[in-house]
């Protein structure tokens, strides 16, 4: 075990790295099997977020989450300073905008959002839709945990969300 894991995690994240207390730094990329029943599920403002692979599983290189987005819900226009994102629509219909153009994405469609690009998405289906969200590097997956914590504690404000999106 490593001393002060929270402090080390914060220092690592501030520099774009991931500290994984359950593995010896630096974590190695090794084959992983994650049973669906053992994945972490977070309740976010948009709906459930299932962390399929965390940065600790991929040596910090990327993370994979499955997002269930409620009908007419989604993420407001924002940008990330360090992360690229890839969304794969699994079910439903989504509207995506990069601030200049809007497009409609259906099941099977893939969207790439490079860092520094303003973007938003929302589910435009009558029922919820599902996205796979691949985040590179993987430390940003902590955003899902932070936003779920804000939501749970009724601290989800536009200022707090903007702060999370820009970190």
Which 3-state string (H, E, C) describes 59-102? CCCCEEEEEEECCCCEEEEECCCCCEEEEEEEECEEEEECCCCE
Cα–Cα dist 47/130, whole Å = 10
Look up tokens 């099997």; give the residue: 33
Of the pLDDT bands very low, low, confident and very high (cuts 50, 70, 90), residue 55 is confident
Q: Are the C-beta atoms of 117 and 83 separated by less than 8 Å?
A: no
Global pTM reads 0.73
Q: For 2-51, how does the pLDDT look when each residue is reduced to its tens digit (9 = 90+)? A: 444 455 555 555 555 555 544 444 456 778 788 888 888 888 878 898 98
Q: Are the C-beta atoms of 153 and 159 separated by less than 8 Å?
A: no
């Amino acid at each position: 075990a490593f001393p002060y894991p929270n402090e080390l995690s914060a220092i690592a994240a501030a520099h774009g790295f991931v500290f994984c207390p359950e593995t010896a730094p630096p974590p190695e990329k090794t084959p992983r099997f994650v049973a669906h029943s053992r994945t972490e599920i977070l309740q976010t403002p948009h709906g459930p977020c299932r962390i399929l692979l965390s940065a600790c599983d991929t040596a910090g290189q990327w993370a994979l989450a499955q997002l269930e987005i409620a009908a007419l819900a989604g993420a407001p226009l924002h940008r990330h300073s360090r992360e690229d994102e890839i969304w794969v629509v699994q079910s439903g219909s989504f509207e995506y905008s990069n601030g200049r153009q809007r497009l409609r994405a259906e099941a099977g469609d893939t969207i790439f959002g490079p860092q520094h690009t303003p973007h938003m998405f929302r589910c435009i289906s009558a029922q919820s839709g599902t996205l796979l969200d691949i985040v590179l590097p993987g430390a940003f997956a902590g955003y899902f945990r932070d936003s779920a914590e804000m939501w749970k504690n009724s601290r989800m404000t536009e200022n707090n969300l903007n702060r999370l999106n820009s970190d």
